[in-house]
Structure 1
Amino acid sequence: MHLRVILPIIGDTFIEQIRTEVSAWVTAGTEVDVVSISRGPASIESEYDEALAGPGILERVAEATRDGVDAIFVSCGADPAIQAAREITDVPVVGGFEPAMLTALTLGERVGILQVLPNVLPMLRSLARRHAIADRLGTIRVIDLPVLGLAHDDVLVDRLVAQARAAVRDGEADVLVLGCTGMLGVAAAVQDRLAADGPAVPVVDPTAAAVQWLESQVRMRLTASRTTYRTPPAKERIA
């Protein structure tokens, strides 16, 4: 299997970190490559950022399709341009939100999301409504760290644990999802610290959920439905 990871941001700062993280989750024999976009924002933390990233993401999706990849992961918890991407490719494509949330729904009644900044809350609530899971979204808690500030693991884990504990204590969540794919390699640490202080509460890593979701779809030979994701009509377009 050939998995293409698209970072929906400009620059190559996170490419090696993402490649290492994804490679740790894929099964033996899966080839992983990672690309960023040539135009768009440095991070996605608002609807504006997401809109700016869209054209670059779709360029990379079309490129991945021409390259003959088997699956595409757009590494962002806001699922930017995912619906549009499914209209232009015949391979499975997901972002970070949908696989993580659907996995979480199998593990407990109320799902809590741990997210970076208040700016993204409306985006996530909109995604929850789109997927008809808003009534099981117990809370979205913010750690007040920007995406570009997530590299400091100790600070990140401490803030995630503090918000996770509060969500569980207040009865807002039975399962927790890391809401940003930039929260690399910390899900197990957060889960272990929660378990040490109280009941075991699962913490879903969005990258792990997305990668394993895609591998399953490829093995089952599943692709997006063409009655939902119809091929766009032929017409003149200026990209």
Structure 2
Amino acid sequence: MIGDIPHILLLNPNSTEFMTDNAVAAAREASGGTFQVTGWTAPKPAPSAIESASDGSTSTAVCLAALNDRDLTKYDGLLVACFSAHPLIQALRERVSIPVIGIMEAALYFARMTGGRFGIVTASLRWEYLFQAAVENYGLNSFFAGAKSSRLSVLELESKPVDEVNAKMVQAAQDLVANGADVLCLGCAGMVGLRAALESALGPDITIIDGVLAGAQILAGMARMGLKTAKSGVYAPLR
């Protein structure tokens, strides 16, 4: 830690710099000075957005190679800023002892503790299916009201007019609420900053969770508790 301030490295496993910058800015603002956040963006040939399982695999290989010579132990935690069960999370847990979490698992655990059923507002249609499998893997399927696509690609969240993006996000969110969700997760790091629009449209009785902010807060707390990645089981070094 820097003094008593935890230092988090936010890892964007795609190669789009503005997504890293937006996520870091949001996390720093939410920190209130209680933790420090540094951003890192995957180099090419990492994909510009993670839109599929193959994108996740490709970006993991690129990230591991690029991070190989970087001293990750100077940070107190690593936040993988992709809303998915990204394979980079497990790979880094094998490599380091500091805590490593992804923004999806952070958001889901917060959602489980703040309501009865949660839904995920996502980008493209494919993620509706991928999130179903991921939620089952996290053991939270009985609390899951579903995922709903905004029918926008990840990069269109930034390139399309704000009013169009907000309208499609709100419609997806309303569909999930109608299906029983009382907590909604923003299902993409590129959605950072859209929480206010959903809160305004849905009212105070629906909780909206941004996984970037949730993940940063969890890591800061883990650092203050002195928690590490256990190395006697699945993440033990190979001998």
Which residue of 2 is the match for residue 31 of structure 1?
36
* Residues 126, 226 of structure 1: alpha-carbon distance in 2 compared, 3 angstrom cutoff: farther
Partner residue in 2 for 1:127: 134
Structure 1 residue 153, shift from structure 2 partner: 3.0
Pick one of 45, 48, 55 that aligns with 1:42: 48
Q: Distance in 1 between matches of 2:66 and 2:77?
A: 12
In structure 2, the residue matched to 1:237 is: none
Unaligned ranges ≥5, structure 2: 1-5
1:203 is aligned to 208
Q: How far did residue 188 of structure 1 move?
A: 2.3
Please point out which of 21, 26, 30 is paired with 1:21. Answer: 26
Distance 1:79 1:64, change over 3 A: farther
The structural deviation recorded for 1:59 is 3.8
2:219 aligned partner: 214
Q: Compute the displacement of 1:213 (Å).
A: 0.8
Which moves more between the two structures, 156-165 or 93-102? 156-165
Instruction: Pick which of 55-64 and 111-120 moved more.
Output: 55-64
Q: Map of 1:166-181 to 2, 5 A cutoff?
A: 166-169=175-178, 171-181=179-189
Number of aligned residue pairs: give it. Answer: 230
- Give me the CA root mean square deviation: 1.9
Unaligned runs of 5+ in 1: 235-239
Residue equivalent to 2:174: 165
Structure 1 runs of 4+ with >6 Å offset:
none
User: TM-score w.r.t. structure 1 length?
Assistant: 0.88
Q: 1:153 maps to which residue?
A: 162
- 2:202 corresponds in structure 1 to 194
Identity of aligned residues (%): 25
Tell me if the contact between 1:37 and 1:56 (Cα under 8 Å) persists in the aligned partners: yes
Q: 1:63 to 1:149 in 2, by over 3 A?
A: farther
Which position in structure 1 is the counterpart of 2:3?
A: none
One-letter amino acid of the counterpart of residue 229, structure 2: A
1:51-90 per-residue CA deviation (whole Å, 9 max, x = no partner) reads 1011123345555544511111111001312112111111
Query: Is this contact kept in 1: 2:97–2:230, CA < 8 A?
Result: no
Contact in 2 for aligned 1:61/1:85 (Cα 8 Å): no
Return closer, same or farther for 1:62/1:158 CA change in 2, 3 Å cut-off.
Answer: same
60 and 95 in structure 1: CA distance in 2 versus 1, 3 angstrom threshold: farther
| C-alpha distance 41-127 of structure 1, shift in aligned 2 (>3 A) | same
Residue 11 to residue 157, structure 1, CA distance change in 2 (3 Å): closer
Contact 1:62 1:88 (C-alpha < 8 Å) held by counterparts: no
Residue among 179, 190, 193 paired with 1:185: 193
Which of 91, 102, 108 is equivalent to 2:115? 108
Q: Secondary structure of 2:17's match?
A: coil
Distance 2:63 2:136 in 1: 23
* Change beyond 3 A, Cα 1:48–1:57: same
Q: Output the TM-score relative to the length of structure 2.
A: 0.88
Instruction: Trace 1:64-143 onto structure 2 (pairs within 5 A).
Output: 65-66=71-72, 68-80=74-86, 81-143=88-150
